Amino acid sequence: MALDTPYRAIFCDLLSDTTLDILPLRDVSFEDYIGRPGSLSGTVPIPDRAIADRAHKIRPGRTAVYLERGGDLWWGGIIWTTTLQSSERGVLTLGIQAATFDSYAARRRIRTDDIKYTQPTDQLVIARRLWSELGRGLKLSGVEADEEELSGVLRTVSWRHGDETVFQEALDQLGAQTNGFEYQILVYRDPGDGRRIRRLRLGRPKIRTGATDMIFDRPGTILTYSFPDDATRGGTHALARGASANNNAAAESRPTLSDEIAAELAEEWPKLDLSSDHNEISDKATLNSLARAAVVEAAGSVLIPQITIRLAGIVPPALLGRTARVRITDEWHPSGLDARYRIVGVKVQPAQRGRPDTAELSLEEA
């Protein structure tokens, strides 16, 4: 980032969240999503021995990084990779690759006692239990959560010690069912004392932020847009495959199959098949729920609108889950498009070499 950048890169100890240093970070870009971890990349220039000594504190897997803009935290996550490089002229740089805090769930496997809920239990209670188990490994992960909210949707699940189930896979399988939920680790400063907060955010069934729409116009705030409409990612009939329910070692092992679930629009389309694998699930009702959710999510073709906007002071840091009202008038929309979408992804390119601060927003129908 240029010296006049509005962003600060704050490097912290991952376990205690103690600030280690604030260092310049150039060529930076960052992104965040609902439903999958976001990423950050950048380069720490090392012009002298003093900066080198400070940069030695950045340890992959042990260091967190936050990006702050105007006193607000816009991004936070774990540094997973660093790359020390020297050019032909001896110029040193330290490249960093980081991912949002929810990426930690992909690096942990269920190796505690079996996590079983044989009696129907609210899915958000189970999700908090999984994050609680994760937090023990991360110690002071700071993953705080509202313990009162329930979804009213009950599940029976079981993950056994020895199956080596990845926590992220367990969370995603639980939330991907019909009437499921979304999760995100939100970072912000406590309005009272200014301390950094990492909070587990659960949405039932969707994460939503703010009570009013954000309005984006073209001509106006919208710099560019694209509306990919992709039938290769959609379908009309879904089937989910699970683990084998065969306990006879001498017999052929076959996966448990869900029923084939058809989308409501199936009669209007040629048949297009969707398939998913869930190797640790043998309960047919659960597989049916996963297949039903998949065909609802991707019925027909999948439209993924994206708009690029110029960031300004009126754009808040907590964009994920906000409702965007998009108004476009051009040759394709001569009478004007006026549609509401939910923001599910944000990719920010900070200002650099005369280029303005921009954000690419990924949208879905509100």
Cα–Cα dist 115/161, whole Å: 8
**How do residues 131-186 score in pLDDT, each as one tens digit?**
988 877 554 445 666 667 899 999 999 888 888 999 999 999 999 999 999 999 99
* 214-228+304-365: CATH topology: Thrombin, subunit H (2.40.10)
Is 7-105 assigned to CATH 3.10.450? no
DSSP string of 248-308, one letter each residue: -TTSPP-EEEPPPEEPTTGGGS---EEEEE-TT---HHHHHHHHHHHHHHTBSSEE--EEE
Can you tell me whether residue 305 is helix, strand or coil?
coil
pLDDT at 117: 92
pLDDT at 114: 78
C-beta atoms surrounding 93 within 10 Å: 17
In this prediction the pTM is 0.89
Can you tell me whether residue 232 is helix, strand or coil?
helix
Segments in the chain below pLDDT 50: 1-4, 139-141
Cα–Cα dist 244/323, whole Å: 42
**How do residues 93-135 score in pLDDT, each as one tens digit?**
999 999 999 999 999 999 877 789 999 999 999 999 999 888 7
pLDDT at 79: 98
Can you tell me whether residue 266 is helix, strand or coil?
helix
Cα–Cα dist 65/39, whole Å: 11
